[in-house]
Amino acid sequence: MTWEDLVSTALVGTDRRPYGADLLADAAVEVVRRRAGQQPAAHGGEIDVAPEEEREAVGRAAARRLVRILAGQYIRVLPEWLAAAAASGRRAPAHALPDLLERGRRDRSMRAHLGVLAGERGRWLARRNPDWAYLLEEATGEPGGQVWELGGAGDRRAHLALLRATDPARARGLLEETWERETPDDRAEFVGVLADGLTMDDEPFLEAALDDRRREVRQQAANLLTCLPESRLARRMAERLARVIDVIGPGEIAVNPPEECDRAMERDGVRAKPPRGIGERAWWLQQLIARAPLALWGDPDGVVRGRIPDWEDEVRAGWVRGAVLQRDPAWARAMFAWDPIADLLAVLPPEERQHLAADFVKNREMDSQLIMVLGGVPAPWHDALAAAVLRKIVQVATTQPWNLGELGRLAAERIDPALCDLPMLARPDPNVQEVAALLRFRADMLKELE
């Protein structure tokens, strides 16, 4: 019986079309026969084999754990496994590559690590599957002597970042030499690299980039110039701010937002179209405040306590945006007390960020804001923050057990696994034990990848 006959019988049912044998068994045999009998795709010449690998694969224990993770055991620690494996200088096991590459197709955050971990065979596969071709643009972790002239986009970006960290002027000069030949996407990526070691020496190049054809390039350049209070852009923003803000008395500010967003403002990074739910003048005001030098306001602790009769929320939102954009720790501390968001914590040094987050956890009831703040504090969480979160878990488990899921997951995934023997983790509370189990899993995982 042909495949078409089998399908027809299955559709109408064996009651209406009797079948003397096992229909499903015959169908299974026919599937195998059809697949085995397929001709290979036409090819213009010999199919090349994957090159020999230059890096050793991770050890057997690490490879077995990866298989368990990919099968669903603690799948959320996959990014940590990838980061640790890439840092080890080894590659992923070959049998895991199809699954990893398919996940990378859906999740862009994995791609930088996959560029290192996929090895020669991964790139060989990527050249044959259009869905995985993204890998060919990622850094391989093996830049050569001519990588800037001949390398792929990822390796060139990694080379520029490395050079920027050691010789900022040379990195900028290298970029200036090839700027006109770079693709728009690459120009946007390369401008972002200049954030490391940014100085006024970069100002002429970035000022010129404000006229680039690509909006992302212009926005990146404007963001970096905003961090240079002596730049021409910062001076222009200060002049615009002076026209809309007036100090009318001790601790009191009068506001008259701009009436329009002209082309000069747009060139300096002000976006004309506001997000849904906010008026145009309010949106332009926020951006002017965020991009003008924060030093114009004086001491942030005193300023934020001042009175603003009109447009208060917009002014304060501008200060928050300015603290983040200009990466100003003093303003970030002052504004976190008014608007506790994770973006402000990211401006602070790592240890201060964790202590401030720990205090926030101690003094905050369990709600979505607490989760959002903790979600912005990267791993590893050290003693003070780990202890504060574990105490919060115990507290919430007795009062709001239905509200515990994400807090427990964050704790298990971000507490430093070296703290897996903390006395508090020995408590019999099942919620604490879930955290302890994943911490031990992560500790073993990282040990295997050392």
Q: What is the pLDDT of residues 169-215, one digit of tens each?
A: 999 999 999 999 999 989 999 999 999 999 999 999 999 999 999 99
Q: What is the distance between the alpha carbons of residues 282 and 257, in angstroms, rounded to a whole number?
A: 7
Q: Let me know if residue 344 belongs to a domain.
A: no
Mean pLDDT of 235-264: 89
Last residue of a domain, one of 308, 339, 370: 339
Q: Is the dihedral of CA 71, 75, 78, 80 positive or negative?
A: negative
Does a cis peptide bond (omega within 30 degrees of 0) precede residue 79?
Answer: no
Last residue of a domain, one of 302, 317, 339: 339
Q: Which of 194-203, 305-314, 435-444 is predicted with the least confidence, judged by mean pLDDT?
A: 305-314
Q: What is the distance between the alpha carbons of residues 308 and 315, in angstroms, rounded to a whole number?
A: 8
Same domain, 316 and 281: yes
Mean pLDDT of 6-31: 79
Same domain, 261 and 315: yes
Q: How sure is the predictor about 87, in pLDDT bands with cuts at 50, 70 and 90?
A: very high
Q: Which domain holds residue 440?
A: 349-448
Which amino acid, 161?
A
pLDDT at 10: 79
| Count of structural domains, the chain | 5
Same domain, 130 and 154: no
Residues in contact with 405: Cβ distance below 8 Å, sequence separation at least 6, in sequence order: none
Same domain, 222 and 248: no
Q: What is the distance between the alpha carbons of residues 103 and 286, in angstroms, rounded to a whole number?
A: 38
Same domain, 89 and 69: yes
Same domain, 91 and 119: yes
pLDDT at 15: 75
